[in-house]
Amino acid sequence: MTKIYSNDKDRQFYNKNGYVVFRSVLTEKECDVYIKESHRVCKKNLTVTSNIYRKSKKFENLLRHKKILSLADSLLKWRVIPIGDIFFFGKSKSKKENGSVPHQDNYAQRAEYGAFMACGVYFDEALEDNGALRVFPGSHKLGEIKSNPKPNWVYSKSGKILRANPIGNNTIIPKKFKNKEKIVELGRGDVLFFHAHLIHYAKKNNSNTKKYRRACYLKYIKNGYAFWPGWTERRVLIDRNDFNPKNFQKSSKV
């Protein structure tokens, strides 16, 4: 698999807006494989699923996808390490998913500013009609913003997730950003990297034509930086499996 890299223009856009899109990073065939695997793993309980990689070797390898890692490393100019994921089925009119409310991802990770980054990998089209992601460009520069968090999940007595409430911590959108909302429409195989402090959300899929909006959000931390594991997701460092001792030996001799 050939690696691809972000360039100065990509980094400038990301630093200014808090997100950047790369088109057709995954092939149509790869998208079909991950869609099939997500349904195999979750079966009839098609709801928001944290750390699907723990139930699937295929999704574990998605966190290590060479194209995604090379884009992430070059975008931040730092080696990133996977720490988890969250999968959305985005099934139309589902009673088990309710989209998300405006939020910043770092409310859960608690990482140093700029150390955490998420990557949305889209297996279906994400359009305004079926709840494409909405962002507030430049809001990441404000750092952590006040919020009014509510429970994200509804559990059974045994602790099983029954359904998801609107995901997020209800970030209070500053007045100067209320009219800056932008819908980011994406195609199959597209990936979207976004800053941990970017305000974003997605409406529930109520489309009559788009049955699903399946996507997996991969979570990455800069190597060497701390993060909060969380009592629900229990995030951990995940080996990239790309370390080459020969390269280390060469660099140590310089």
The CB density around residue 217, as the number of other CB atoms within 10 Å, is 19
Nearest to residue 190, comparing CAs of 121, 241, 111?
Answer: 121
Please give the average per-residue pLDDT across 100-109, as a whole number: 94
- What is the token pair recorded at 194? 């976004």
pTM equals: 0.91
User: What is residue 158's predicted lDDT score, i.e. its pLDDT?
Assistant: 82
Spatial distance between the Cα atoms of 154 and 87, rounded to a whole number of angstroms: 17
Maximum Cα–Cα distance across the chain: 62
pLDDT at 160 exceeding the cut of 80: no
Give the length of the chain.
Answer: 254
Please give the average per-residue pLDDT across 137-150, as a whole number: 93
If one compares 85 and 209, the residue with the highest pLDDT of the two is: 85
Which residues, including other chains, have CB under 8 Å from residue 254's CB and lie 6 or more apart?
none
Spatial distance between the Cα atoms of 27 and 24, rounded to a whole number of angstroms: 6
Task: Write down the domain spans for the chain.
Answer: 8-252
- What is the token pair recorded at 157? 């007595």
User: What is residue 193's predicted lDDT score, i.e. its pLDDT?
Assistant: 98
Q: Are 21 and 119 in contact (CB under 8 A)?
A: no
User: What is residue 131's predicted lDDT score, i.e. its pLDDT?
Assistant: 95
Please give the average per-residue pLDDT across 1-29, as a whole number: 96
Please report which confidence band the pLDDT of residue 2 belongs to, taking 50, 70 and 90 as the band edges.
confident
- DSSP-assigned letters across all residues of 208-222: SS-----EEEEEEEE
Q: What integer best gives the mean pLDDT of the chain?
A: 93
Please report which confidence band the pLDDT of residue 187 belongs to, taking 50, 70 and 90 as the band edges.
very high
For the chain, percent of residues with pLDDT exceeding 70: 96
Q: Are 131 and 120 in contact (CB under 8 A)?
A: no
Spatial distance between the Cα atoms of 151 and 166, rounded to a whole number of angstroms: 9
Please report which confidence band the pLDDT of residue 253 belongs to, taking 50, 70 and 90 as the band edges.
very low
Please give the average per-residue pLDDT across 86-111, as a whole number: 94
User: What is residue 248's predicted lDDT score, i.e. its pLDDT?
Assistant: 53
Spatial distance between the Cα atoms of 88 and 110, rounded to a whole number of angstroms: 22
If one compares 156 and 175, the residue with the highest pLDDT of the two is: 175
- What is the token pair recorded at 67? 């194209």
User: What is residue 8's predicted lDDT score, i.e. its pLDDT?
Assistant: 98
Q: Give the architecture-level CATH label for domain 8-252.
A: Sandwich (2.60)
User: What is residue 149's predicted lDDT score, i.e. its pLDDT?
Assistant: 79
Span 24-82, pLDDT tens digits: 999 999 999 999 999 999 998 888 999 999 999 999 999 999 999 999 999 999 999 99
